[in-house]
Amino acid sequence: MVVDEVLPLLTAAALGLAIGIERERSPEHRSRRIGARTFPLFALAGAIGALLGPVGLAVALSVSGAAILAWYWRVTAPARVDDGADDVGITTMAAAIVTTLLGALSVADPALAVALAVVVVMLLAAKHRLHDFARHALDDRDVTDAITLLVVAFLVLPLMPDRAFGPYDSLNPRTIWILVVFLTGIGWAGYVAARLLGRKWGLFVTSLAGGFVSGTASTAIAA
């Protein structure tokens, strides 16, 4: 029983520490006094609030949010801007809010909280690569193709009826559209991989990954 009660708190502290260390090592935030010690506290606040119940969680989120806003106001005050302080953006502020929520989530589902924390750390650590990719590796056509893929996968697919019709009930709109999503996704992933890794390695990686879904579709896209 004691282990079950302590495990969420340890999980919250660990994921908060991981995110805090990443923020501490970020060159843009080393002088902002919020990092390896503060983020575990935010995560623990969320976990403790979740253990106390809905009211406790609401209080923890409110207090944490107020503290985060106060920190952001302090580092972006006009006096600091006039002194030549860099714009800190809102990434660290958003990361602190997410850390508090992850701390609360660690009470209900520790495994999911840890998995999401890993995703958060990866996003924070990949700042420059993501910016370079968005600004230099992609053009307007790539963005349009990505939006088309999202529409095909997340807007049209849920509307497709999942029932058979036609000769011998051989046609199923949802199954057909899932194939369309796979073909579109493989093609777009191959294009992006070729842009990032070069034509040779991009084709290899895409064919390898697409083969697990559909060897025929991957062959058609490669051709």
What does the pLDDT read at residue 34? 74
User: Would you call 86 helix, strand, or coil by DSSP?
Assistant: coil
pLDDT in tens, the chain (223 residues): 466 678 889 999 999 999 988 888 776 555 556 778 889 999 999 999 999 999 989 999 999 989 888 887 877 765 554 554 455 568 888 889 999 999 999 999 999 999 999 999 988 888 767 767 667 666 677 777 778 778 877 788 888 888 887 777 778 888 888 877 877 777 676 666 666 666 666 666 666 655 555 555 556 555 5
Whether 32 contacts 88, CB under 8 Å: yes
pTM passes above 0.75: no
Distance CA 71, CA 76 (A): 9
Whether 71 contacts 81, CB under 8 Å: no
Distance CA 45, CA 100 (A): 7
Distance CA 60, CA 99 (A): 12
Distance CA 102, CA 111 (A): 11
Q: Is 163 left (phi over 0), alpha (psi -120 to 50) or beta?
A: beta
